[in-house]
């Protein structure tokens, strides 16, 4: 059995070997520099506590250290855990814009969740009180959606969505289905909130109109200097089918009210008229919907056999469109193969009703 070499002595001898190999053969003879280096290595190796791998020259402590980036990350996490780990408790938001105050030579605003993007802001959400107010006005007071929208400066679609979900909430409460109340409270404590109180700044623009791509071009339209070139004229200049903004307004009754006020009517009276006309338009819309549903119901013959309800509708088999592939066409047609099994056809539904 060969004599065993102790690990520490092994390390030392290995380092000596390293040194000898690394050095050019001429310097073996006697170089003061080489001797110095030898001394340095021997002292450093003696300062080592232990050497777990007999051929490794790397000190153990160095080898096990995390990378610089990881160390920096851990330090950052440790420094800011008080700030960002928990939810803010003072009714404020907790975005990193508190930390990154300047980005791309621009000041970062407090409501910027992404410091680099000044165009995206975290805008307030409706508080639960505000949502209750909206729901009450629509369901209890019976105000038209347009009037509620104008009253709180909340988009009409949002008003409708709030009421719709509130109704579901009431239903779930009544049926004793589990509600995520604590979750709601926690999330709300992290978000900027709007209470829709009178002094508050308007929640969102309620009269926005879509910008048609035709109107994004620059036109040169020669007109007489004496001519009044209005919005309607501008729309016509962009294209025959382009509507002027006046016809695209979501709540045209609001413009009418302002017109009445401008012509000298008392604001209260103008507002009353606005409410009345808004309610009328809503009623007309509801009636139209009802008539549509009735028309559809009249068209279909329903046969209920207890298990299934068969619905029959009259269709014209020849009504297949220009190329025989009309979306509304019914049935298989000779010489027109279906495309639904073709490669790459998307089967995801496009709407859910």
Q: Which is nearer to other proteins, 186 or 301 (CB)?
A: 186
Q: How far apart are CA 254 and CA 262, in angstroms?
A: 12
Residues 285-344 that bind other proteins (CB under 8 A): none
284 binds other proteins (CB under 8 A): no
Q: Which is nearer to other proteins, 22 or 102 (CB)?
A: 102
Q: How far apart are CA 251 and CA 352, in angstroms?
A: 28
151 binds other proteins (CB under 8 A): no
152 binds other proteins (CB under 8 A): no
162 binds other proteins (CB under 8 A): yes
251 binds other proteins (CB under 8 A): yes
Beta carbons within 10 angstroms of residue 340's beta carbon? 7
Q: 204 in helix, strand or coil?
A: coil
Q: How far apart are CA 122 and CA 97, in angstroms?
A: 11
Q: How far is the CB of 312 from other proteins (least distance, A)?
A: 24
210 binds other proteins (CB under 8 A): yes
- The interface region with other proteins, picked from 28-36, 168-176, 295-303, 308-316 by CB under 8 A, is 168-176
Q: How far apart are CA 193 and CA 195, in angstroms?
A: 7
Please say whether the beta carbons of 169 and 179 come within 8 A. yes
272 binds other proteins (CB under 8 A): no
Please say whether the beta carbons of 137 and 143 come within 8 A. yes
Nearest to 211 by CA among 240, 171, 242: 242
86 binds other proteins (CB under 8 A): yes
Q: Total number of residues binding other proteins (CB under 8 A)?
A: 95
350 binds other proteins (CB under 8 A): yes
Q: What are phi and psi of 338, to 5 degrees?
A: -70, 150
255 binds other proteins (CB under 8 A): yes
When binding is defined by CB under 8 A, the residue of 84, 236, 282, 333 that contacts other proteins is 84
Residues 92-121 that bind other proteins (CB under 8 A): 93-96, 99-100, 103-104, 113-121
Q: Which is nearer to other proteins, 60 or 234 (CB)?
A: 234
The DSSP symbol for 308 reads -
Q: How far is the CB of 152 from other proteins (least distance, A)?
A: 13
Q: How far is the CB of 93 from other proteins (least distance, A)?
A: 7
The helix (H) or strand (E) run that includes residue 258 is helix 252-262
Q: How far apart are CA 97 and CA 92, in angstroms?
A: 13
When binding is defined by CB under 8 A, the residue of 19, 207, 271, 320 that contacts other proteins is 207
Q: How far apart are CA 119 and CA 280, in angstroms?
A: 39
């Amino acid at each position: 059995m060969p004599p065993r070499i102790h690990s520490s002595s092994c390390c030392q001898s290995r380092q000596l070997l390293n040194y000898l190999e690394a050095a050019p053969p001429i310097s073996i003879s006697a170089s003061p520099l080489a001797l110095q280096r030898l001394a340095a290595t021997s002292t450093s190796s003696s300062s080592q506590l232990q050497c777990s791998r007999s051929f490794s020259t790397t000190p153990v402590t160095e080898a096990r250290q995390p990378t610089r980036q990881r160390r920096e990350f851990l330090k950052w996490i440790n420094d800011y855990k008080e700030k960002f780990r928990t939810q803010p408790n003072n009714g404020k938001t907790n975005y990193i814009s508190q930390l990154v105050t300047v980005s791309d030579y621009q000041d970062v605003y407090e409501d910027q969740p992404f410091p680099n993007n000044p165009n995206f802001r975290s805008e307030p959400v409706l508080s639960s009180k505000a949502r209750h107010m909206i729901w009450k006005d629509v369901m209890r007071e019976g105000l038209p959606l347009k009037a509620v929208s104008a009253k709180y400066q909340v988009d009409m679609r949002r008003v409708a969505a709030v009421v719709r979900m509130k109704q579901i909430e009431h239903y779930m409460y009544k049926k004793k289905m589990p509600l995520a109340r604590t979750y709601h409270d926690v999330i709300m404590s992290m978000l900027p909130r709007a209470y829709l109180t009178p002094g508050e700044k308007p929640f969102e623009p309620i009269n926005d109109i879509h910008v048609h791509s035709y109107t994004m071009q620059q036109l040169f339209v020669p007109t007489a200097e004496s001519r009044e070139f209005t919005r309607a004229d501008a729309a016509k200049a962009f294209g025959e089918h382009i509507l002027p903004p006046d016809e695209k307004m979501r709540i045209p009754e609001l413009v009418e009210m302002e017109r009445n006020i401008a012509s000298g009517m008392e604001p209260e009276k103008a507002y009353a008229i606005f409410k009345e006309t808004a309610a009328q338009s809503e009623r007309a819309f509801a009636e139209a919907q009802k008539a549509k549903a009735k028309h559809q119901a009249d068209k279909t013959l329903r046969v209920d056999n207890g298990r299934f309800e068969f619905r029959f509708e009259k269709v014209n088999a020849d009504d297949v469109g220009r190329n025989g592939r009309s979306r509304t066409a019914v049935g298989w047609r000779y010489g027109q193969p279906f495309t639904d099994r073709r490669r790459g056809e998307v089967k995801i539904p496009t709407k859910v009703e």
